[in-house]
Structure 1
Amino acid sequence: MARFLVLFGTGEGQTRTVAERIEATLTARGHDVETVDVDERPAFDVETFDAVLIGSSIHVGKHHAGIDEFVGTNREALNARPTAFFQVSLSSAVDDPERRAEAARYVDDLLEESDWRPDRIGLFGGALRYSKYGFLKRLLLKRIARDATGDVDTSRDYEYTDWTEVEAFAEDFAAFVEGRLGTDDPPAHETGRTE
């Protein structure tokens, strides 16, 4: 069993939901997982964890400020252990190669600025939470959505996250960590999974 930190920064909550699904997947494999919102200003030592997953939403081309700060402050500790990064954005929700390349550039910029080298990277579609936006943000996102997804009915919310992809990302990173730390994947009967 490994000790995982899942740290996330979110705007309207979709990154939290992704982090919770990752936590559930890791827990099902028998690992000890602590999931923390970066806005809660966590007071812990990264070095007490065997592996770290960090997730951030993208809003107007920027990662969550708390995630940028955390990665910059903890770069050495992060580079000394298995790590993964996941990003949640509207750009990753569409099949447009230009928008997907844009999502990848956001990650590249973060990693270049921080000199962090995560072992795994996941890019997931986010959500449009029109019900949580103020008037101006709703108008801005409606305009962005018109070109990206076409989902401009502001009377409802839209979710684009591929949960199978999220679980596969968590499973892949868990297997990597287990291999690196020399721990075994628990038998299926211990995790409730079926073969």
Structure 2
Amino acid sequence: MSKQLILYYSQGGHTAHICRTMMEHIRALGHDCDMMHLQEAASAGVNWDTYDAVALGSCVLYGSYHQSVFDFVEANKSQLEAKPNSFFSVNVVARNPEKRVPDNNKYLQKFITLSSWQPQNVKVIAGKVNYPAWKWYDRMMIQLIMKMTNGPTDPSSVIDYTDYDDVKAYAESLVKMAP
């Protein structure tokens, strides 16, 4: 039995939902798993010695990741590198299958370029459009981006593009990474 840690940044809750799916699947496989928001991990600390593998993931906000993701990576780079590790990016551009390929996802590539940590494994997960839950200015900006990328612009749209079978397969790959 191994123990995984899933660290994440989530603004609207969808990335947290994806992480919960991963954690529950890992536990159903007979392994142990914890998940922590990066704010909690930064303030409470992480007992790195208790984990066999770690995954860190974040949603994309306006074309980038929240600064706390880079701050956490910088502060914990050696601990991340000491374990089998992975980074996953949750973004709506991945609604297109070709954008789920790491080399074709500009947001994942941006993380790899800007981050001091070079993860051993990477994953792209399609996100969720949830116009009714977003503040008016977020909705307007995302509608503009969607219009430019031929995505949904109806302000009542709630579309979850996440492939949960793929999320579970990714969770299984995290278990396999553990020694």
With structure 1 as the length reference, what TM-score do the two structures score? 0.81
For the residues of structure 2 that align with 1:96 and 1:119, how far apart are their CA atoms? 21
For residue 93 of structure 2, the aligned residue among 79, 91, 94 is 91
Preserved CA contact (<8 Å) 1:91 1:102: no
What's 1:118 paired with? 119
Amino acid at match of 2:91: S
Q: What's the % identity of the aligned pairs?
A: 26
**Aligned counterpart for 1:62 among listed residues 64, 76, 91:** 64
Match for 2:75 among 69, 73, 76?
73
Structure 2: how far apart are the matches of 1:44 and 1:77? 10
Cα distance in 2 between the residues matched to 1:31 and 1:161: 24
The number of aligned residues is 177
Tell me the secondary structure at the aligned position of residue 105 of structure 2.
Answer: helix
Q: Deviations over 1:119-163 (max 9, x none)?
A: 321101101111121111111111212233531111231111111
**In the alignment, residue 143 of structure 2 is paired with which amino acid?**
K
Which stretch of structure 1 is more off in the superposition, 6-15 or 32-41? 32-41
Q: Which moved more, 1:102-111 or 1:161-170?
A: 102-111
RMSD: 2.2
Paired amino acid for 2:110? D
> Where in structure 2 are the equivalents of 1:95-106 lying within 5 Å?
95=97, 104-106=105-107
Distance 1:10 1:131 in 2: 17
Gaps of 5+ in 2: none
With structure 2 as the length reference, what TM-score do the two structures score? 0.87
Conservation of the 8 A alpha-carbon contact between 1:94 and 1:148: no
Q: Kindly indicate whether the alpha-carbon contact (under 8 Å) linking 1:125 and 1:161 is maintained by their aligned counterparts in 2.
A: yes
Measure the CA separation in 1 of the matches of 2:173 and 2:103. Answer: 24
**What is the rounded CA distance, in whole Å, between the counterparts of 2:93 and 2:33 in structure 1?**
29
Q: Is contact 2:91–2:126 with CA below 8 Å preserved after alignment?
A: yes
Does the CA contact (< 8 Å) of 1:120 and 1:173 recur in 2? no
In structure 2, do the counterparts of structure 1 residues 154 and 60 end up closer, same or farther at CA, with 3 Å as the change threshold?
same
Q: Which sits farther off after the overlay, 21-30 or 139-148?
A: 139-148
Aligned to 1:33: 33
Match of 2:138 in 1: 137
* Contact 2:102 2:123 (C-alpha < 8 Å) held by counterparts: no
Q: For structure 1, which runs of at least 5 residues remain unmatched after alignment?
A: 182-195
Cα separation, partners in 2 of 1:108 and 1:117, compared to 1, 3 Å: same
Q: Per-residue deviation at 1:96?
A: 5.8
* Alpha-carbon distance, 1:95 to partner: 4.1
8 Å CA contact 1:128–1:159 kept in 2: the answer is: yes
> Which structure's CA Rg is the greater one?
1
Q: Secondary structure, in 3 states, of the residue corresponding to 1:153?
A: coil
Q: Partners of 1:91 and 1:163 in 2: how far apart?
A: 17
Q: Distance in 1 between matches of 2:89 and 2:50?
A: 24
